[in-house]
Amino acid sequence: MADRSSSLPPSPPRPDSASVRSWWGWGALDQALPDAECVSLAALVPGAAESALPVPSIASLALPAVRVSAPAALAHLVSSAPADRAAHTYGKAFRDVVRALYGDMAAAPDLVARPREERDVVELLDWAAGADVAVVPYGAGSSVVGGVEYRAGEHSGVLSLDLSGLDRVQEIDRVSRAARIQAGVLGPDLEAQLRPHGLT
């Protein structure tokens, strides 16, 4: 593909995707419906609760103890912060949201890694393989089929590999209209990068 591909100009600035995503539910915090609106909508559904379930604070979550730590050379890519672990525990199915709202964090990964380039991924996988740490790739975490939740229970630890830092279009082949795109890009960011090339 390389010989027919256009040489890409510097990527356009990212669109404003900086709003904070909910750690327990779907969407961005600044776009969430207020509780009162949720309750009035729920009133349309027979049998629905009459008050909103409070969202647990991150500090109140009973996260399992962290069992593994990354080597010093990878420490800058890895987090064991409760907010990161909580946000990478589940996808976005109804059952995921319910478990998060009830503070059930039994399936939380030990660590969350955010690689910035391909070499980081290689080094993280090399370490994890040697340390018997299961790796769960994490794109946007919107799986509704349990895809980002570790359930095997047979490893020394679990690493959620958050690919959101790998969000660039790297190569476009104008003839075949194929593109080489890093694995963590979100849809709107991808569209913004393709638009200058007349592509969607």
Site for ligand FAD in 30-89 (CB under 6 A): none
Give the residue with the Cβ less far from ligand FAD, 10 or 94: 94
For 36, the 3-state DSSP assignment is helix
Site for ligand FAD in 143-172 (CB under 6 A): 143-144, 147-148, 163
Report d(CA 70, CA 48) in Å as an integer. 45
Tokens of 123: 């080094």
Report d(CA 40, CA 11) in Å as an integer. 44
Q: Does 124 interact with ligand FAD (rule: CB under 6 A)?
A: no
Report d(CA 145, CA 88) in Å as an integer. 14
Q: Does 138 interact with ligand FAD (rule: CB under 6 A)?
A: yes
Give the residue with the Cβ less far from ligand FAD, 3 or 30: 30
Q: Which of 5, 11, 21, 26 binds ligand FAD (CB under 6 A)?
A: 26
Determine whether 50 is exposed, middle or buried from the number of CB atoms within 10 Å of its CB (0-12, 13-18, 19+).
Answer: exposed
Smallest distance, ligand FAD to C-beta of residue 131, A:
19
Please state, as a whole number, how many other Cβ atoms lie within 10 Å of the Cβ of residue 27: 13
Give the residue with the Cβ less far from ligand FAD, 103 or 147: 147
Q: Which residues pair with residue 112 across a beta bridge?
A: 79, 160
Q: Does 91 interact with ligand FAD (rule: CB under 6 A)?
A: yes
Binding-site ranges for ligand FAD (CB under 6 A): 26, 91-92, 136-144, 147-148, 163, 183
